[in-house]
A = this chain, B = another copy of it.
Amino acid sequence: MKLGDGVEQALHCVLMLSGLPAGQVLAAPALAEFHGVSPSYLLKHLQALSNAGILQSVPGPRGGYRLARPAGRITLLDVVLAVEGPEPAFRCAEIRQNGPSPLAPRFFKKPCAINAAMLRAERAYREELRKVTLDMLASPPDSELGAAISARACGFFAQRARNAPPSPSH
């Protein structure tokens, strides 16, 4: 049970993009520099987020990435599934069917109790992630931490954010 490091990068990126002023985009190299990670590798995950419909990519010069829908409608589960893939962590190989005296095939229609329990646990995991939307993760601006984060992000936005078509599609 191990999540790739790209998940954290993707989460921080979408969280940062959630604070971006409307009508502006941020390029992948800027995001990579801000987080101190490899631009090429981050681009890989940004593509996955774009393909999943979470981010919207604007090609060409002054292009970049932007949230495809409001932060309140993007959950942590969306981001994790987009990066890690939708398949569940526990995959039952049905080893009951192996061995010298396998059960009759008609018993295999329903998943075994072990598989059911594991999937139920993973369902709880995903449900917990589904409850959390991006706007919940922004630190309260009245706190010292929130103010510092906002200041850092705004300063970086003023330096690197670019204007782009307000809503090109849909």
Contact = CB atoms under 8 A, between A and B. Distances in A.
Interface of A: 1-3, 5, 7-9, 11-12, 15, 33-37, 76, 80, 84-85, 89-93, 95-101, 103-104, 107, 110, 113-114, 117-118, 120-122, 124-129, 132, 136-139, 145, 148-149, 152, 155-156
B1 A95 contact: no
A35 B152 CA distance: 57
Contact of A100 (B15, B34, B101): B34
Contacts of A91: 3, 8
Nearest to A138: B113
Given A8-B90, A98-B35, A99-B34, A1 B117 contact: no
7 contacts: A1-B85, A2-B2, A3-B90, A9-B95, A33-B100, A76-B118, A117-B132
| Residues of A contacting B: mostly | helix
B35 A149 contact: no
Given A3-B1, A3-B89, A8-B93, A113 B101 contact: no
Contact of A149 (B3, B84, B103, B121): B103
